[in-house]
Structure 1
Amino acid sequence: MLYNIRVFFLTSCSGLVSNHTGKKAQSSSLMNFLYPNKESRVEHTPEIPTLTLPVKVGIAFVPSNNWQGNGIHEKDQIELLDKVRSAFLKYDYIDRIEVIPSTYLNGGEGFSTLEQVGRLYNVDIMASVSYDQVTQSLENNAALLYWTIVGMYIIPGNENSVQTFVDTAVFDIKSQKMLFRAPGLSKLENRTTAVGVDKTIADQSLNGFSLAVTDMTKNLDSELARFKTRVKEEKVAKIEHRDGYNGGGALHSSLLVLIMLLLARGLKSRQTDWS
């Protein structure tokens, strides 16, 4: 009887010191954002997009499904998307990548919102990042026994897990055609005291997003290479070039440097032969 009272008391204390006990989820849905009703989900006439190189890209998180606000703080959103931006600035066929706060998408819906944001930031392509994260904190029954002896500040009493999924869908704004998409996953697990569970879950949540975005960036790179092959072989998009863009400036510059080095080496060799 006394043991049961102690277990009940300690379980109640765990609930009092933490707001994260149990299972919680936060998410954003690209489908709900782009197609808010059945009528908008009717397939439009397929159109082959025309991409003008170098392309101008915007990237933003899809607004949260939670009416209380985004699952990721705006500052953290910007930092995460900057990681993606930095990874793709090396490609000469990308003119620039604009990191767009999700606040510009809040309150809007459908492709009309993407078009408005596209005009505002002067971008032709939009990469929309949606997410789904589940956090779970379960009390460890074995630890409850230890709590009755040494106190919950010392022995870990909660088993925490954070599973994160992010998905980037890349759209040509004008044709409303999805060009390609790439996922990213992460899973974190650890133990903590009931007193420290709130901070641990918060830290794990952000770390989970960071790891998932890193995974997604690698997959995005692979999908981008695959899309370039599809453009050539399957003609899934038409390619045009902006004035002054030749599609291979970096390659031509490298070849020029190599030729100059070979010529210099040859000239030095001739001078040696004549000396």
Structure 2
Amino acid sequence: MSTTKHINSSVVDYLYSDEKVTNQSLKQTYLKLPLKVGIAFAPTNVSATRSPITKPEKIKLLEQIADNFRDYEFVDKLEVIPAAYLRTKGGFDNLEQISKMYDIDVIALVSYDQVQFTDEGALSMTYLTIVGAYIFSGEKNDTSTLLDTTIYDINSRKLLFRAPGSSNVKGSSTPINLSEALREDSLKGFELATQDMIENLQLALAKFRNSIKNTNSDTKLLQSSR
């Protein structure tokens, strides 16, 4: 008997819902430096008891992401946004409300997708990210995990940059301890995907720092008077 466990949170579902996914901003992008950044998980319909990562683990991950932003002079403050304030399919209207509530200009949205296959065969599933499709494929007791951090300017709705991370854990267990083994593989999958994402985030932040210094960039800068 084959089973597939698939749990995710999606930036595409949260921001665009029935709208067409687009990377184009609706208006000219003006970034006011230094930036005020919010960090949050994209909403999920999965209950806390079915979530592959606990609330403390989510907070730890958000703090890891925040630590990378703190290394840069173009960031003024960081706010970890509680999950309760992000409505399912809330879209950019919801982000604008959060922007006013927390006085932030930019949001880093973290999403995840994890698929666990528990049978042999050519199995695959597709997850839609903000820049295209990601294919999960695997065989018996494979755990595939994707983490994705997408950074938006809230006012212009422009995607500034993103940092993905992924992992694949190949496990093996008897039917007797399958549930425990899958839980361990799930946690290991998130740990490895987090490491990969953080490495990509460091590269993306450095690239973004260089891009905002470019006077030919389509993103215009406004220096704060503070």
| Structure 2 residue 188 is the aligned partner of structure 1 residue 207 | yes
| 1:235 is the counterpart of 2:217 | yes
Instruction: Assess if the C-alpha contact under 8 Å between 1:130 and 1:167 holds in 2.
Output: yes
Aligned to 1:61: 41
Q: Which position in structure 2 is the counterpart of 1:271?
A: none
Aligned equivalents of 1:186, 1:114: Cα separation in 2: 29
Aligned residue in 2 for 1:97:
78
Unpaired runs of 5+ in structure 1?
Answer: 1-10, 12-20, 140-158, 245-275
AA partner of residue 28 (structure 1)? S
CA distance in 1, matches of 2:209, 2:46: 36
Q: CA RMSD in A?
A: 2.7
Secondary structure in structure 1 of the residue aligned to 2:118 = strand
Q: Is the Cα contact below 8 Å between 1:132 and 1:165 reproduced in 2?
A: yes
Q: Post-superposition shift, 1:114?
A: 0.9
Residue in structure 2 matched with residue 5 of structure 1 by the alignment: none
1:175-228 per-residue CA deviation (whole Å, 9 max, x = no partner) reads 111111121111112223323222221222122122212211211221222223
Cα distance in 1 for partners of 2:197, 2:91 equals: 24
1:49 equivalent to 2:29? Answer: yes
Equivalent residue, structure 2, for 1:26: 7
Name 2:177's counterpart in structure 1: 196
Deviations 1:138-168 (A, max 9, x none): 38xxxxxxxxxxxxxxxxxxx5221101111
- Normalised by the size of structure 2, how large is the TM-score? 0.79
CA displacement 1:67-104 (0-9 Å, x = unmatched): 78655332221111111112221222212222223232
TM-score (norm 1): 0.66
- Percentage of matched positions with identical amino acids: 36
Q: C-alpha distance in 2, partners of 1:45/1:166?
A: 24
CA contact (8 A) 2:32 2:221 kept: yes
Is 1:174 the counterpart of 2:158 in the alignment? no
User: Partner residue of 2:64?
Assistant: 83
Show the counterpart of 2:137: none
> 1:129 is paired with a residue of what secondary structure?
strand
Q: Which residue of 1 aligns with 2:117?
A: 136
Task: Provide the rounded CA distance (Å) in 2 between the counterparts of 1:134 and 1:43.
Answer: 26
Query: In structure 1, what is the equivalent of residue 123 of structure 2?
Result: none
**Structure 1 range deviating more: 185-194 or 225-234:** 225-234
Secondary structure at the aligned position of 1:36 is classed as coil
Give the strand-richer structure, 1 or 2. Answer: 2
Measured after TM superposition, the shift of residue 229 of structure 1 is: 3.0
Does residue 118 (structure 1) correspond to residue 99 (structure 2)? The answer is yes
**Aligned residue type for 2:87:** N
Contact persistence 1:60–1:127 (CA under 8 A)? yes
| 1:9-55 alpha-carbon deviations (Å, 9 max, x no partner) | xx8xxxxxxxxx722111122112111224x7689874232112221
CA contact (8 A) 1:125 1:171 kept: yes
2:10 maps to amino acid: S
Q: Which has the higher helix share?
A: 1
SS at match of 1:219: helix
**Residues 187, 42 of structure 1: CA spacing in aligned structure 2 closer, same or farther, 3 A cutoff?**
closer
User: Which runs of 5 or more structure 2 residues have no equivalent in the other structure?
Assistant: 121-139
d(CA) in 1 for partners of 2:68, 2:25: 34
